[in-house]
Structure 1
Amino acid sequence: MKARVSVCIPFYNCGHYITETLNSVFASTYPDLEVIIFNDGSTDRKSLETLLVIEQTYSNLKIIHSENLGVAAARNKIAEIASGEYIAFLDADEQVSPTFYAQAVKVLQQYKNVGFVASWIKEFGDSEKVWVAWNTEFPYLLAHNTLGVCTVVRKAAYLATGGMKSLLAENLEDYECWINMSEKGWLGVVISELHYFYRIRSDSRLQKSNREQLLYLYELIAALHPELYQDYGAEIYHFLNQNGASWLWDNPSQNTVELNVNSTGMVKDNPLES
């Protein structure tokens, strides 16, 4: 339905957090929301009991039960089912501000080349870090992911570009999706306000990941987009050197050098030149 936002929440054993997540969604100022929870084969008894209570509590909520597909496939399934012109991804332990959906739809309606809208991120739980991001632009998006999964996406663009890939379901499936949509001409706009509240917990999928896994996934993303990384290879090279050249790396021969770093993390002067 035109201008409807379908909030898509994949759920796997997150009974402890889902009520807080739903409270944040239903506090939204946006008038036309469809909320879909996709139970991706949960096994925890208390989580299943919580879903049953939620189903009886909220009349404007749809719960779909499935065997375990993995988070990427679960999001794609919800996107296919959703009736809204826009789909809003949100994980079952996260929260969103009351005004985010309204602001995001305003951007999507004003700019037809925008495929998705995100915001700055505020962590909570085991961290209070703030993540600042900018509109998706190459080569910056290729060098590092500063977006989260909490985005409002133009459904037609998401489905046309293939959605999220189960190949990357261990992590970074959303990151590759934003790269893929941007490569195919859809701009990602980031609202410079804190609308996405990302829970940090020790048992989360991201916290359980390791360096080797992430390096493998980054290599896989590059292999999925060879022309993109080839076209922007030189710019990525200059970008990384500008923000952290090799003489800033861990070097035992220079371990007494103190770097002069400003508030943005950029080195103001090369200490080896003095």
Structure 2
Amino acid sequence: MGKVSVIMPVFNSATTLHNSVLSVLSQSYPDFELLIVDDGSDDNSYELALSLAEQDKRIRCFRLPCNSGAAVARNKAIAMVSGRFIAFLDADDLWLPDKLEKQVEFMLSNHAPISFSSYYKIDGEDNNIGFVGVPERVSYQDLLKTCYIGCLTAMYDTHHFGKVLMPEVRKRQDYALWLTLLKHTDYAYGISQPLAKYRIHKGSVSYNKFSAARHTWRVYRECEKLPVPVAAYYFTHYALRGVLRKYAPAFARLTGVMH
């Protein structure tokens, strides 16, 4: 069907790395390689990755000489992949066991060059704290308004795009990549079934809404080169959707009580 190359950047992730790797090794779809790139960790993440690689020949480990950011780590791996499909998983997130099987089958059946899925949110103790659904498809313009694509669920087909690297910015580089890919196809296609678990923790970009907003603006201006009025238009959509996502559930509960 097509080999999948899984990209996993690692930085001081010794406490979560094993479970994240195990969620890849436990996939029902066996035709994959896992490229782990240690981004200058100062804990024992790299040694742990090496020990895991000794147990499964599908794992390949690399190490950057100093901390350079997730984009640099991911790009090092992308340059060396051998699979048709490229997927991403951070070292603190998890995949459900049929993630690769479901997604590869979906992409081949629907001739989808890039896909993504719904996912669960979990806390530091693996407790389920939320759910993120996705639309059936999104265009470049749709994605400028809000990033529907969770990096841990994304997969793109190199037969369509070739190997496309992430812009080497410190944050939101995955968002910038999806925008780049969507300039070369009509849509990214969403899978409604949740296929992954995204860990929320203090310090993550998604946790710090102000930081996420600032880096989103930088993607508009520095990566996409949008003029200020155009960037402001899409940023307004991004901000309003963020407010709605935060307060709509509470509003729905309130109106339900009132009725």
The bucket for the TM-score relative to the shorter chain is 0.7 to 0.9
Q: 1:178 to 1:21 in 2, by over 3 A?
A: same
- Provide the secondary structure at the position in 2 that maps to 1:128: strand
1:177 aligns with 2:177: yes
Residue deviations 1:209-259, cap 9 Å, x none? 461x433322222223356997898799799889989xxxxxxxxxxxxxx
TM-score of the aligned structures, taking structure 1 as reference length: 0.75
Letter in 2 for 1:137: S
- Provide the secondary structure at the position in 2 that maps to 1:19: helix
Q: 1:217 to 1:124 in 2, by over 3 A?
A: same
Instruction: Give me the whole-angstrom Cα distance separating, in 1, the residues matched to 2:193 and 2:6.
Output: 20
Q: 1:5 to 1:242 in 2, by over 3 A?
A: closer
Residue deviations 1:154-198, cap 9 Å, x none? 1355546x421112x2x2111121122112225211110111101
- Provide the secondary structure at the position in 2 that maps to 1:81: coil
Contact kept? 2:117, 2:191, Cα under 8 Å:
yes
Contact kept? 1:115, 1:181, Cα under 8 Å:
no
Aligned residue number for residue 254 of structure 1: none
TM-score of the aligned structures, taking structure 2 as reference length: 0.79
Aligned residue number for residue 149 of structure 1: 151
Instruction: Give me the whole-angstrom Cα distance separating, in 1, the residues matched to 2:59 and 2:235.
Output: 44
Instruction: Give me the whole-angstrom Cα distance separating, in 2, the residues matched to 1:21 and 1:124.
Output: 13
Contact kept? 1:140, 1:236, Cα under 8 Å:
no
RMSD value over aligned CA atoms?
3.4
Aligned residue number for residue 74 of structure 1: 73
Aligned residue number for residue 108 of structure 1: 107
- Provide the secondary structure at the position in 2 that maps to 1:174: helix
Q: 1:261 to 1:51 in 2, by over 3 A?
A: closer
Q: 1:236 to 1:41 in 2, by over 3 A?
A: closer
Larger radius of gyration: 1
Shift of 1:205: 5.4
- Provide the secondary structure at the position in 2 that maps to 1:197: strand
1:206-217 equivalences in 2 (<5 Å): 206-207=206-207, 209=208, 211=210, 213-217=211-215
- Provide the secondary structure at the position in 2 that maps to 1:53: helix
Aligned residue number for residue 96 of structure 1: 95
Shift of 1:24: 1.0
Contact kept? 1:29, 1:102, Cα under 8 Å:
yes
Q: 1:236 to 1:15 in 2, by over 3 A?
A: closer
1:224-239 equivalences in 2 (<5 Å): 224-226=223-225
1:61 aligns with 2:63: no
Segments of 5+ residues of structure 2 without an aligned counterpart are 245-249
- Provide the secondary structure at the position in 1 that maps to 2:86: strand
Aligned residue number for residue 41 of structure 2: 42
1:14-53 equivalences in 2 (<5 Å): 14-44=13-43, 46-53=44-51
Contact kept? 1:101, 1:152, Cα under 8 Å:
no
- Provide the secondary structure at the position in 2 that maps to 1:63: strand
